[in-house]
Amino acid sequence: MQSQFKYKLAFIAQKKMNLRFIFLSFLILQSAMTYAENPPSKATWYRYYDSRGVANISTNVTPNHIRHGYEALDQNMQVIRRNRAYNSEADIKKAPQRAAQAKQQAADIKLKKAYGTSQVALTKRNDILTSIKKQIAFQQDQLKQLQTDRIYFKRQQIEHLRKAEGIPASLKNTIENNQKNIEAKKAMIQSLQINYRNTQAEYDNIIARLKALE
C-alpha cells in the first residue's frame, strides 16, 4: 500500500511539471507570435519643417533634415523618433572640449595599460623616490669630502703664505680643481632634488587619476 501511495504522489508531481512546461511553452509561443504580428515600427518617412514652417517629407535623410531637425515617421505617418537640429556654432564651441576629453581618455587608457591600479603606481613611485634619495645622499657625502679636502688644501696655502713662500703650481691646480668639483657636486645635488620633486608630483597626479578610474 505504501509503495502504491508513493507511486501516485510521484505520478501527480510529474503531471504537474508537465502542465507547467506546456503552459510556459504556450506563453513563449504567444509572445513570439505577438512580436511577429506587431514588429517594432521602422521609419518609412522623414519630415522636417523649413524656416517658413513648410513640411518637407522624403524617404531618406538629407542635409536639410539634419540642419532643421527632423521627425522619423512610420508607414502610418506617426512620429516614432525626433532628432534635434544640428547647431554648427554649438558644435564648433564644443570642439575643444571634445578634443580635451579624447586626449584625457587616451591618457587614461595609457595609464591603465602602464600601471593597472593606483597601488602599483604608488609602489613604483616609492621605489623611484627611494633610488633618488640614495643618489642625493651619495652626492652629499662626496661634497662633504671635497669640502673637507678644501680646508686641508687652504691650510697648506696659508702655511706657504705665512712663510712668505711661493705657492706651488700643483697646489694651485689642486685647489682650483677642488673648487670646480664642489660646484659640480652642488649642481648635481640640486638637479637630483628637482628630479625628486618633479617625480613625486608626476606620480601623485598619476595615482590620483588612477584612483578616479577605479
DSSP of 106-175: HHHHHHHHHHSSHHHHHHHHHHHHHHHHHHHHHHHHHHHHHHHHHHHHHHHHHHHHHTTPPPPHHHHHHH
pLDDT value, residue 65? 86
Q: Is the pTM of this model over 0.75?
A: no
pLDDT value, residue 209? 92
123, 206 Cβ separation under 8 angstroms: no
Average pLDDT for runs of 10 along the chain of length 214: 46 49 43 45 86 90 87 90 82 82 89 92 96 97 97 94 91 96 97 97 94 90
